[in-house]
Amino acid sequence: MFEIARRHRRAREPVNSAFFADHPVSLSIAKMYHGPMERAMITVRVFEEREAAAEWLGVPLKILYPPVKQK
């Protein structure tokens, strides 16, 4: 996770990145990623509700759901 954060800190243009976490463990992990990204070109926010993440990102809610697997 910290290696990913280190690489993402190299972004040259502003980018928004949202994490949706609906379980305490995943919420804690997302918040750990948020810390190293402070003062980077990537603005990271952690959300407990998909609707809030979609609104902040300015995207349709449906794209924040995993794709449905075809059988």
- Asked, for residue 66, whether it belongs to a domain, the answer is no
- Asked, for residue 27, whether it belongs to a domain, the answer is yes
- Asked, for residue 67, whether it belongs to a domain, the answer is no
Give the per-residue pLDDT at 54.
93
Count of the separate structural domains present in the chain: 1
- Asked, for residue 52, whether it belongs to a domain, the answer is yes
- Asked, for residue 50, whether it belongs to a domain, the answer is yes
- Asked, for residue 18, whether it belongs to a domain, the answer is yes
Full domain range(s) for residue 34 = 2-59
- DSSP for the chain reads -HHHHHHHTT-SS-EEEEEE--SHHHHHHHHHHHGGGTTSSEEEEEESSHHHHHHHHTS-GGGGSPPPPP-
In tens, the pLDDT along 8-64 reads 556 667 777 777 888 888 778 777 766 666 666 777 788 889 999 999 999 999 988
